[in-house]
Amino acid sequence: MNSKYNNGANVLIINDQPKLARSMAFLMEIAGLHATTAATPDEAAQALAAQKPDLILCDVDMTVTDGYTLLRRVRADRRYAHIPFIVMSESYELHDLMYALDLGAAEYLPKPFDTYDLIDAVRQALAEPVAYRAAS
């Protein structure tokens, strides 16, 4: 993004906990970003096709599917493979972190996370060059 703070970027938040998803969307809006939420893989696919977000923020621990599966799907689709993908999880084991990064995640945020850490991770991922997202 051209702006120092990535103002106007579109963030897709994938989380099956509506209250948490709304809270994160509100934080993105405060940070000058636009946010859309999706609670299921189908909703996420519709949002990807409709708006082609600049960044995806996805929870790993969901009931219908997990965030790793969605990350693999996004990385396998040439239309979306370049989009930075941040993974959030309650588990923070080294193997989880390495797995997410190996799949092509831009960042792995352990929950609970600080609001500033979330916004900083989003801004950094939006500012990164596309080359780091070549994982497949």
Query: What secondary structure, in 3-state letters, does 54-86 show?
Result: CEEEEECCCCCCCHHHHHHHHHHCCCCCCCCEE
> Which position has the higher pLDDT, 102 or 128?
102
Q: What is the pLDDT of residue 81?
A: 93
CATH architecture under which domain 10-127 falls: 3-Layer(aba) Sandwich (3.40)
76-112: per-residue pLDDT in tens?
999 999 999 999 998 778 888 899 999 999 999 998 8
Question: pTM value?
Answer: 0.88
pLDDT confidence of 120, banded at 50, 70, 90?
A: very high
According to DSSP, residue 53 is labeled: -
DSSP string, 76-121: H-TTTTTS-EEEEES---HHHHHHHHHHT-SEEEESS--HHHHHHH
